[in-house]
């Protein structure tokens, strides 16, 4: 990686996105297969990460690598998250599919207690990175 990268800013983006998913450093490190100490060093910008770890972070956080590295999708027209990776038609089909799935999930969740929903939210947050990798 380029030595001109701002590792403290990269780490801050990683930490912010991890926290947005309500993942502790320990849980996220476990998902990545690294130590919490190493993750802390990355998040503070004290240590460079390997390409393998960068890829795992991007997949787990559902972020483009260029967003993690540069704070924007430098190789696309717009900044993340409004960058469009697919055609308008494909995007509309995808959105229709997502909306249908969300409606089904809402029906299921409407029958759950607050405690059940809280637990499901935590489980989903934890398993999505594993499904993506």
What pLDDT was estimated at residue 98? 75
Q: What pTM, to 2 d.p., does this model score?
A: 0.60
Contact partners, residue 44, CB within 8 Å, separation at least 6: 8, 11
The yes-or-no verdict on residue 42 having pLDDT over 90 is yes
Looking at residues 30-36, what average pLDDT do you find? Answer: 94
What pLDDT was estimated at residue 92? 62
Under the banding of pLDDT at 50, 70 and 90, the label for residue 83 is very low
Under the banding of pLDDT at 50, 70 and 90, the label for residue 82 is very low
The yes-or-no verdict on residue 88 having pLDDT over 60 is no
How crowded is residue 67: how many other Cβ atoms within 10 Å of its Cβ?
20
Handedness of CA 75, 80, 83, 85 (dihedral sign): positive
């Amino acid at each position: 990686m380029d030595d001109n990268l701002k590792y403290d800013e990269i780490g801050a983006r990683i930490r912010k996105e991890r926290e947005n998913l309500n993942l502790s450093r320990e849980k996220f490190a476990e998902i990545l297969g690294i130590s919490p100490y190493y993750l802390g060093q990355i998040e503070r910008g004290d240590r460079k990460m390997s390409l393998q770890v960068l890829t795992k972070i991007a997949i787990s956080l559902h972020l483009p690598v260029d967003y993690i590295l540069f704070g924007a999708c430098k190789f696309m027209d717009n900044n993340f998250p409004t960058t469009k990776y697919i055609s308008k038609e494909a995007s509309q089909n995808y959105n229709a599919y997502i909306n249908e799935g969300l409606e089904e999930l809402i029906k299921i969740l409407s029958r759950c207690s607050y405690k059940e929903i809280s637990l499901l939210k935590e489980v989903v947050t934890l398993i999505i990175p594993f499904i993506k990798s």
